[in-house]
Structure formats: C-alpha cells, structure tokens
Amino acid sequence: MSYAIVHYPNINTEDINQIRKKYDPQVYLIKPHITLVFPIIESINENNFIVHIDNILSKWKRFPICLKGLQKSWDEYLFLMVEEGKVDMIKLHNQLYTGILAKYCRNNLPFIPHLTLGRFTKNIAQFLQVLEEAQKLDLNYCCFVDKVHLINIADEQRSIIWSKEFVLRN
C-alpha cells in the first residue's frame, strides 16, 4: 500500500484521455491529475499524515493554474505543463514535503508541475507520433487548485483503495 497527494484539475479531460488511453499505462488506475506528493510506499501513520496535510493546507487559498505546453521528461514521459500557477504548485509541493514527509522528498530531482499524457520507453517514433497528436489538439486549460486528494493505492498499483478530499480556502 502507498499514499500520494494529487490534484484533479476541474477541466474537460476528453482530449487528454484520448491520448492517455493509448500511451499512459495508469489511465485506468487514476484520472488525469497533477501529483503533489509522489507515492510513499513505506508505512506511514495515516492519522498523522492527515493532520500534516490539514496543517499545511489551512494556510492556503485556492489559486489559478493553466495547463499548456508539452515537454518530454528525463524518464521518457510526455507532460502537459503547468504554465500559470507553476510557482504556487512548487511552493505547495515543497511545503507538503516538510515535517513527517521531509525524509521522502527527492532533492535530486526538481519538481516539475505537470499532468502526464503518456510514457515512451526509448521509442522515439511513438513519442514523435503522440507529440504531433497532442500538438494538434492544442491542449490548453485553466482552472483553480481548490482541492487536493490523499489517495491510498494498492501495493500492485492497480487500484486506488480510497481517497480523502481536502478543500483549500476561497
């Protein structure tokens, strides 16, 4: 079992899912999302985790983001980038990785706020094909980060066991 914290953008995801169904192996595990805390596989006290999230989010108001632009990651993923709101997303990510989560922070990798469209393990032709598909769709969305979800994922990462919603202040 593992935990992660994600934001589900309140946008029309039809075009995003059109791409994800072809190229994202997690399309049926989780709907389009932006990960704020990556899966933590170790045992962590759930109640302490929830209190930590509540403490961090109590200081946050909802904020706008825009998803636009495509980027290939170092590990062969295609990202739909968070353009507007990127600084706030990074700040929220960094604050969540304090206290009981500090030891799980990956300081060797910069946090890049994004929504994953697909994975292309060393298949350049497939990557170029989906890049062209995504560019034609002109993916461009704006919404608010007004909620985040703590999700509990089964060990084999094939299903989400439960999810708890946290609402940011208006």
Residue 129 or residue 68, greater confidence: 68
Q: What pLDDT sits at residue 158?
A: 74
pLDDT tens profile 155-168: 766 789 999 999 99
Q: Supply the pTM of this predicted model.
A: 0.94
What pLDDT, on a 0 to 100 scale, did the predictor assign at position 35?
A: 98
Strands (E), the chain: 2-7, 34-40, 63-72, 77-82, 114-119, 140-145, 147-153, 160-167
Any idea which residue has 């039809």 for tokens? 14
AA identity, residue 129? Q
State residue 157's pLDDT score: 64
Residue 43, pLDDT score? 83
Name the token pair of 167.
Answer: 């609402």
Contact 162, 152 (CB under 8 A): yes
Closest CA to 32 of 13, 51, 48: 13
What are the pLDDT digits (tens) for 56-67? 999 999 999 999
Q: How many CB atoms lie within 10 A of CB 57?
A: 19
Q: If you count them, how many residues does the chain have? A: 170
CB atoms closer than 10 angstroms to residue 28 = 11
Tens-place pLDDT, residues 135-158: 999 999 999 999 999 999 887 667
Does pLDDT of 2 surpass 70? yes
Type of residue at 4? A
Question: What pairing do the DSSP bridges indicate for beta strands 147-153 and 2-7?
Answer: antiparallel
